[in-house]
Structure 1
Amino acid sequence: MALVLGIDCSTLWTCVGCIQDGCLLGEINVNLGRKEASSLPLLVQDLLRSVDKCSLDIDLISVTTGPGYFTGLRVGVSYACALAEGLGVSVVPISSLEAMVFDLLEEGSLVVPVIWARGKYVYAAAYTLKEGEAEVIMSPASLLFDTLEKNVKNINCSKRVIWVGDDLARFPAPAIGERLLNRHGCRGSNVALIGEKRRSLALSPDAVRIFYLREPQIGPTKE
């Protein structure tokens, strides 16, 4: 029975989950702030212990590769690839934006995940569900929040719009859309489940790359 470990550090929240043959065994989603580097290995260990598994049981690792917070992405991807290398397993790279909303996708809805990218910029995308699979309506991008609103409005569809992400609180409520859902980062279960579904896209650990979308910004945060 294949055990898939999912890892996400793309926001201030660190999320890990494990799936076995389509069934969720467990997940941990916790706000570690900037402490991912020291806490992630222990978090994975705690998760595996809680479901009576160990690292040697892992058959595949999936990890969010961006977009998101630079430090978190480096920590998550580096750890996932190092662990995969040591275990001799492959890695499935996952979009952090898709992982944020994977369990929310439904026919007839346009789901827009948002991660703050400093200042007035956000990382965002738009997805819907088609024949049981996630369909990308707007590819992940780094853009002004005002521009995102215009792009969503210009999407030619009659679907109801659902905005997702606790970073939405930094901006005025969108003029278009029925619901705003606060969600702290990605769920570890989503990352693991997507990885299991896309096993055929798995890469060797040394081939995994981070999807930054924009250059790191050095200096104090301006809100």
Structure 2
Amino acid sequence: MSWLSSMLGELKIKKKRSPVIWVDNMSAITLASNPVLHARTKHIELDIHFVRDKVLGKEIELRHVPTADQVADIFTKPLSHQPFVKMRERLGVVSLASLGLRGCVGRDSQADQAAMHDLKSLDRQADQAAMHLKSLDRRVDQAAAMHLKSLDRQVDQAVDQAAACQADQAVDQADACQVDQAVACNTKITNHVDQCMATKQDARDKQVINSTRAKVIDKTKERTKAGTPKEPIRRAHTSYSCE
């Protein structure tokens, strides 16, 4: 296997995956996969160390197969008739006795064709199952993406609503504060105007009183100079006639 891998590497043929070796002995798989050496395994041959290095380097892969399905037994063990025929059919080898004079294949070839047909149908079913799984994966990914997008939209809407609500509250508070300030300012202005009007009215009243007093004093002085006696000041009565 290592020689074939090195030859393929020199030919610049890339391997898609590590070659698989089917083993029907679980103990051999465990020894090859486990790097820890135990007391019972210190007298083993060097081949196991070589295989272990290849397994750890992922150059080969060991898998378990039941003994009844081990195709390599046809080359290493004396099998009975039924297991021998079974393994031979799996290898795709046709018996010479089944070939006729015309070169057509007999019953064994028909069984092989049926087996190949079954294998092809199984391969088609496996491909269809793989396609179905891929479509399911795509649907799941699409559903997850749509769900995430809807969640993002909901979060954005909630954030926008919260921001709008906070902005409205801030505007209402600012408006209320401005209205209160305007009312207070208007009240101050009104009070100041009232005070000014009262002050002006008081000034006018004082001016009228002073002017009246000055006129009376002037008339009194004139009469005193002329030598006329003082006449008592009579109030003028205004008569209103109703026609």
TM over 0.5, shorter chain: no
Instruction: Name the larger-Rg structure.
Output: 2
Choose between structure 1 and 2: higher strand proportion.
Answer: 1
Q: Calculate the TM-score normalised by the size of structure 2.
A: 0.21
Structure with greater helix share of residues? 2
